[in-house]
Structure 1
Amino acid sequence: MVRFAQFNASLNRNTAGQMQADMATRSHAQIAAVAEVIQRLDPDVLLINEFDFEAAELDAAFLPTNVPSLNFRRNYLNVSQNGAGTVDYPFVYAAPSNTGIASGFDLNNNGQTVVIPGTPGYGDDALGFGNFPGHFGMLLLSKFPIDTVNVRTFQTFLWKDMPGNLLTNDPTAGANNLRNFYTPAEQNILRLSSKSHWDVPLITPDGVVHVLVSHPTPPVFDGPEDRNGKRNHDEIRFWADYVSGRGDYIYDDRGRRGGLPTNARFVIMGDQNADPFDGNSFDNAIQQLLDNPRVNNTIAPSSPGGVQQVDDGGINPNHRGNPAFDTADFGDTAPGNLRADYVLPSRDIAIRNAGVFWPLRTDPLFRLVGERGSATVPQNPPGGANNPTSDHSAVFVDVDLAVRNPDIGVRRLTFLGQNTFPPGINIFESRLGGLSGLAYDAPRNRFYALSDDRSQFAPARFYTTVANLGSATTFGPGSIGFTGVTTLRDGQGATYPLNSIDFEGIAMATANTVWVSSEGEVFLSSNPEVPSRVTPPFIAEYNLETGREIRRLPVPRKFTPVVEDTNNSGRLDAGDTLRSGVRNNLAFESLTLTPDRRFLLTATENALAQDGPAATVGNGSSSRILKYDVVTGQPIAEFLYEVEPVAQAPVPPTAFNTSGLVELLALDNGGSLLLALERSFSAGVPGTGNSIKLYEVRLDGATDIAGIDSLLTADRTRIQPAQKRLLLDFDTLRLPTGLDNVEAMAIGPVLPDGRLSLIFASDDNFSATQFTQFLTFAVELGGLATNFRFNGGFGSLGI
């Protein structure tokens, strides 16, 4: 196991030479506290951001000489701090930084060009903000040899030379466009990196790993032109292009061109100054890395302390991001606690563990972090009373370099047992049944089981459900209980009228809200006395306590059912034709949120009318998976999912039969690894007629078909569908009760033996011949488990 760590340690000072003086002692409290954090984590590879250098301290090969890096190692890391084990790094790398280098231009447009270090305003006019050359530099420490001959640095790469850059291609209108803010002469000298970008190859026993380090400028400390936000965006984009085969335009400081070979392994490290949900980033800058198919983002480093520090108050309780993933405690009135620091391995490196050094207040090591201020108590500078080290916490990721292809996905499923409930029973005066969606609320340790009752037997609702999983080996009668029922209401607080909704999927949204999907309806009546009903599907957010609708997400027009009056009756009836959109009862049956709450996914149960036929005994159906960015609330992608044919021929052959995608469950933060539940039913066959199968689904490499309105007219040879692998055919369980209409699933609490629980529930269709069924499994997830083990947040999978 190899530990990579990133720490913005605030080892910077306002004047040149001061860090030298502080490092020369062994008694500086802040430096000692930083060293203790490092000793406690003992990383094999460590990037320190904000480590001051002076130009004279770098030799011709850009290797640091004796001060201050040597003194930091000799006087602090090699000396036990409060009993922590010492740590040694025989291999060190540093290089010049753009911070504090005079530009000779008035880069902040205040009417003054400042060129003397230390003079007020000098930092703003420098090529990168800094009071002197080397201010806020970087230091890389390694236990593995550095391939110094093949190190690449990109300090002098010009911003304007990035195709589509935000300097000369800024989409902002008016005076705040950077082409208007910076003069042509300034545009010609502006460097992309506020510090630098380094590609440092490390020689490990398992091959070369490229450590890609940087420290983009904060997207603040500017004006309405947002020059720092746009620079931050493109600094992050640099690595996204470099690792993805889009780096032909890149040149390094020695003139070598191109990006990283596509088969090279890498770890991107640095304080990126960009949160995926909150803060001031331009155009969701960090998603350029988190969504990059070359990046392994399956596990987000987390901490219990980040969750606890929400009580700093200010803006923190209103943040959209999961506080478990926060890495920095900034001003709590704005921008608050954020995820700013990242360690991101390449997709072909297996992650085994990850974390943020942010202990709880009750932890003895909390003294190394401190309160770092609150909305009412200002934060002290690093080394101050409430800020012993830095406003950032160290972030680490443990990887197995010996495994070339990461073991990401489902390793094993073990059936634990079932609970069944007979038809026709009441729960809190509401008819139990129609359980079509299931979501786990980890902080409250309970589930929400959504009924698909169209307000026929009782108003539309979900049940609060508890599961007794005290044993890791058995799950039987009495393990499931119901503790409440919540009525779902529209935006005005009224219950939904009969047949106006068809709720099918549910997922946790925040601590106090849930997402719910409705299939809509395409009911074309054959009875003139009964009106037809055609309504579009929708996804809405609801308050957990009141059940009231808060907002709806936009659904692309292609999903809206369009019926043509083909019999010219002047009204919609059974003689008319569905031309496009969702089919009746074959729409948004599924709903899932990624563990970090960034992406929401749903899918049609079968093909849209314009995409192909519904599933039959001989043929499958082309469903669409629809992916949303929760931050923007907008749909961002669609993928083709091929549903299996109906499993058995009905008896007689004209009897009802169906097969469809009924549930999804996101396993990774990118929303590219899913569980998919398919249910087939055939009337008249022996047993219950249900056939249930669970698949592992990968969207990596799948074609985004959002721009294709009709798959029937598309070139299918150019469309790569989602890849799926059968995990379980439920028929192999050979349950004495048989299988009911299983439609819901959710990851539940951690079992006593450390495995995760996976629970399924059935929709009995409120039929006297069916039953409500809960099936519980233990699931082992390779490379993913820590996504679901941390119970301090609010994700649909227990984060």
Structure 2
Amino acid sequence: MKASLIRRACAAALALATTMAPAAAAQPDDTAEPSGIGAHARLLGEKIVPHKLPFRNTTVGGLSGIDRNPCTGEYVMVSDDRSYLQPARFYTARIKVDGAGVHSVDFTGTHPFRQRDGSVYPPPSAGDGKAVDPEELRVDPRSCRYWWAQEGDRPKSSSDPVIQPSIQFSTRTGAYRGRLALPVNYEVTRGDRGPRRNKAVEAITFGARNSVLTSAVEGPLLQDGPEPDLNRGALIRVTQQSRKGHVLGQFAYPLEKIFAKPDPSSPWPPDTGVPAILAYPGDPGRYLVLERTWVAGAGFKIRIYDATTRGATKVQNMDSLTGQTVVPMRKELVADFHDLGLSTVDNTEGMTWGPTLPGGERTLLLVSDDNFAEDEVTQIVALGIR
């Protein structure tokens, strides 16, 4: 979801509420057994990439996903440019990070994603149904090929085509190699079912010894109730699938309520969701979950949670979560970016594990999506996780 695009539109405009199903029914039982979560984070450092950095006839920016390639030691970052500037693409980079900080970010390559026929993706145009919205990329730990997610499009008007979200496979040069069958309730419809516009699949991760692909929709499905407001949060769906696409489990994750009252003169509502999820090595049901929120007049709130499916209700057979009594995933706050002492808190969307530090502390790298805007930044943040 392009939260910073909304923020810029809001700034331009300044220059010239229903409730969801009872939240109490969706809260975990305090008598349930402990979840076994509770990581701690500290800031190691950050690095700002030059704005609109030119690289091999492309413009670096819109970086909405990041992963580390175990075969090369490099990092792969996906751009969410929908082929407006250059064809939809990804970048590889060497990032030097250790316990003393982020020392350098050096881009080493870029390739466009290719369609089944070998062509690159064209810019969106009404009626062709070929638009693509890349948001996440993961390196397959078994083959070091890429799995990447794109949100598709719920059209604004009946004359525009529905473009389904997808998780595709590609080579390390972007060649198409297939796609994963998604859960039925991830399908965009023209009715009141499925993901909201710009709130579809934006988060994927490998887990359970690399045999399970977990995905999360960014916001609540239309049938699952309204989006978060100042008084209450919402439930989004997190799905575990086999590599063949079989749904192993789907769970409700509790998204936080909006953290601040928006500027009343703004025409734009708050925007919140989950742009990234990251599995814990060795624990098939434990994840780091990134929540990103923007509020007019208050800016961004970036938080990382330690969450688990242990004890949570499986909801894959529930058409709607509205009015249902479900036990959602448990979660605990790991880091609020406003507490880390960063130079800025921006539109952070990507997250991956980095190298392990001496003493056993694991590095966590995050990247922000600048949407190619002059008032945004491409920021690489490194945290130590214990």
What residue in structure 2 maps to residue 701 of structure 1?
311
Residue among 642, 657, 668 paired with 2:270: 657
> Match of 2:74?
446
Q: For 1:691 and 1:552, how far apart are their aligned partners in 2?
A: 33
1:653 deviation in Å? 4.9
Deviation at 1:735, TM superposition (A): 2.2
Which stretches in structure 2 are left out of the alignment for 5+ residues?
A: 1-32, 125-130
Q: Is 1:542 the counterpart of 2:170 in the alignment?
A: yes
Instruction: Name 2:207's counterpart in structure 1.
Output: 594
- Structure with more strand by fraction: 2
Task: Supply the distance in 2 between the matched residues of 1:411 and 1:669 (Cα, whole angstroms).
Answer: 15
Tell me what 1:498 maps to.
123
Write out aligned runs for 1:16-95 (5 A): none
Counterpart pick for 1:767 among 355, 369, 373: 373
**How does the TM-score come out when normalised to structure 1?**
0.42
CA shift for structure 1 position 769: 1.1
- Deviation, 1:660, is 0.7
User: Counterpart of 2:249 in structure 1: which amino acid?
Assistant: A
User: Displacement of 1:413 after TM fit?
Assistant: 1.6
Percent identity reads 31
When normalised by structure 2's length, the TM-score is 0.84
Q: Within 5 Å, give how 1:58-137 maps onto structure 2.
A: none
Instruction: Give the secondary structure class of the aligned counterpart of 1:731.
Output: helix
Matching residue within 648, 657, 662 for 2:260: 648
Match of 1:430 in 2: 58
2:148 to 478, 500, 516: 516
Distance 1:551 1:664 in 2: 22
Match of 1:745 among 351, 358, 363: 351
- Cα separation, 2, equivalents of 1:556 and 1:644: 24
Higher helix share: 1
Query: 8 Å contact 1:600–1:627 — kept in the other structure?
Result: yes
Query: Cα gap change, 1:473/1:602 in structure 2, threshold over 3 Å: closer, same or farther?
Result: same
Structure-2 change in CA distance of 1:741 and 1:693 (3 Å): same
Select the residue among 268, 286, 309 that pairs with 1:673: 286
In structure 2, which of residues 245, 248, 272 is the aligned counterpart of residue 636 of structure 1? Answer: 248
Q: Compared with structure 1, are the counterparts of its residues 616 and 498 closer, same or farther at alpha carbon in structure 2 (3 Å cutoff)?
A: farther
Match of 1:612 among 225, 236, 241: 225
For residues 295 and 170 of structure 2, the distance between their equivalents in structure 1, rounded to whole angstroms, comes to 35
CA-to-partner distance for each residue in 1:417-458, whole Å, 9 max, x for gaps? 100124322222211111111111123111101111111111
Check conservation: 1:598, 1:669, Cα contact below 8 A: no
CA distance in 2, matches of 1:753, 1:468: 19
Structure 2 equivalent of residue 716 of structure 1: 324
Aligned match of 2:99: 472
The residue identity in structure 2 corresponding to 1:549 is Y
Query: Does the 8 Å contact 1:616/1:658 carry over to 2?
Result: no
Q: 1:649 to 1:523 in 2, by over 3 A?
A: farther
Q: 2:187 aligns with which of 553, 560, 583?
A: 560
- Aligned partners of 1:445 and 1:749 also within 8 Å: no
Q: Which residue, out of 735, 757, 763, partners 2:363? A: 757
Q: Deviations over 1:320-353 (max 9, x none)?
A: xxxxxxxxxxxxxxxxxxxxxxxxxxxx9xxxxx
Structure 1 CA distance for aligned equivalents of residues 44 and 145 of structure 2 = 30
- Report the Cα distance in structure 2 between the residues aligned to 1:701 and 1:441, rounded to whole angstroms: 32
Shift of 1:693: 0.4
> How far does residue 753 in structure 1 lie from its aligned partner after superposition?
5.1
> SS at the partner of 1:475?
strand
- Alpha-carbon distance, 1:659 to partner: 1.0
CA contact (8 A) 2:305 2:335 kept: yes
Structure with higher RCO (Cα < 8 A, 6+ apart) = 2
Does residue 690 (structure 1) correspond to residue 300 (structure 2)? The answer is yes
Deviation at 1:587, TM superposition (A): 1.0
- The match for 2:10 is none
Shift of 1:670: 5.2
Q: Tell me how far 1:514 sits from its aligned partner.
A: 1.2
CA RMSD of aligned residues (A): 2.1
Matched residues, number: 346
